[in-house]
Amino acid sequence: MSLDRFFSIIKDGEWHSVEELSNELGLKTSKLTKLSKYLSDHGLLKYEEEDGKIRIKPMWKLLLPESGELTERTHAESKTILATFLIPPETSIDVQSTHISNLSGVEVEVSLRIDNKIREVTIKV
């Protein structure tokens, strides 16, 4: 399963059935449920266990590129950053022009896709 494909499907911010997504992604429902719980526990998704539905949280939706946005631009024009960071508790980092603050008391792993739209990210637990 490609996480890019998963996020491209849910980036619309609407509720999606885990069962329908698992069929579309060719992934067992149990694995997608486990992934959904994990992403929900870490604040990226809203997971409704009773209904078996998920949706991306609005603040993370902003980090996903629009449909075709990356393929329409030439490589030279693209300023997209793809990165994963471990941010210690109560620490801030700067990634080019984006300021990321972890205001929580625990280390967090943050994966980002930034394309000149986001200037600041704050993490609170």
Between 16 and 64, name the one with better pLDDT.
16
Alpha carbon 96 to chain centroid, angstroms = 19
Which of 19, 11, 5, 89 minimizes the C-alpha distance to 45? 11
Residue 11 · residue 57 · CB < 8 Å: no
pLDDT of 42 > 80? The answer is yes
* Topology classification of domain 3-61: Arc Repressor Mutant, subunit A (1.10.10)
pLDDT (0 to 100) of residue 62: 62
Whose tokens are 């870490």? That residue is 42
Q: Is the pTM of this model over 0.75?
A: no
pLDDT of residue 6: 85
Tell which residue, 1, 8, 6, has the closest CA to residue 71.
8
User: Does the pLDDT at position 77 exceed 50?
Assistant: no
Each domain of the chain, given as residue ranges in start order, spans 3-61, 78-123
Q: Quick one: DSSP state of residue 116?
A: S
Cβ(28)–Cβ(39) below 8 Å: no
Distance CA 58, CA 38 (A): 17
Higher pLDDT, 123 or 3: 3
Contact assessment for residue 83 and residue 63, using Cβ atoms and an 8 Å cutoff = no
Q: Which amino acid does the sequence have at 17? A: S
Q: What percent of the chain has pLDDT over 70?
A: 66
Tokens representing residue 62 in the block: 């902003």
Average pLDDT of every residue of the chain: 77
Highest mean pLDDT among 16-20, 37-41, 105-109: 16-20
